[in-house]
Amino acid sequence: MEMIFGRDRGPVTDEDVAEAYPWPEEGVWVRSMMVSTLDGAAAGPDGLSNTISGDADRQVFDAVRRFADAILVGGGTVKAEGYGPLRADPDDTERRRAQGQRPAPVLAVVSGSLDLPLGDDGFAGSEERPLVFTGATPDADRLAAVRERCEVVQSGSDSVDDGWVIDQLVERGLRRIVCEGGPSLLRAVVAADRLDEADLTLSPTFAGTSTTPDTEALPDVSRFELAHLLTADGFVMARYVRRR
């Protein structure tokens, strides 16, 4: 992998990749992780982002997750993608504890329907108990089932405001947040003016699918500044930071 734009241009090691995606020592920081094809699709023809991903993209994905506090994802995405367990390497666990973090990131899911794959490893095998955010009046049977595996946080209305979700995460000490989509969740986070960083991988593929992120609800464009570009195997990994 090579950095072609940014402070440290040239070949980068695995540790360099991790250091290229730093977290602020203090305060709340919300970053998104996205992959897109050359024709703007967020997933392949099978509806999965893994189809358009690659080793370089996954390396950045792992680096961004490494010292995150929470992985924020929509219910539809977690169901479609089949999330694995969230665990940290032993060396990272010690560093996380030294930094005042939980031993591993927390899976945080936003779902109105609570139609969730509770048997998947993301729910059943993660080191930390998952969080699920839902509305005031979800299906009672589904609510009971989700509560067996997760901490459920209900909003005061039938809808879930994503700014409120982020506030709830911060109240629990989860201030380093990675939003992994889908497009509707990401749109809501941007609309709430809570996105600080966008990490975007451009995949050298065409999908021909209509999964371009929907930004219809945004009152105005949000502007970001390019911090760096990494490239490997035809993939381009860009880090953008919000222009405040």
pLDDT in tens, 60-87: 999 999 999 999 999 999 999 999 999 9
**Predicted structure pTM score:** 0.93
Interatomic CA distance for residues 71 and 85, integer angstroms: 11
pLDDT digits (tens, 9 = 90+) for 81-114: 999 999 999 989 999 999 999 999 999 999 999 9
Q: Angle at Cα 133 formed by Cα 129 and Cα 137, nearest 5°?
A: 125
Instruction: Identify which of 209, 176, 196, 200 has the alpha carbon closest to the alpha carbon of residue 70.
Output: 176
Residue recorded with tokens 């490239």: 231
Which two structure tokens, joined as six digits, stand for 29? 């920081």
- Which part of the chain is CATH 3.40.430.10? 68-175
Does the pLDDT value for residue 211 go beyond 60?
Answer: no
The CATH number of the domain covering residues in 68-175: 3.40.430.10
The percent of the chain in helix, strand and coil, each rounded to the nearest 5, is: 30, 25, 45
CA-closest candidate to residue 153, choices 133, 173, 174? 133
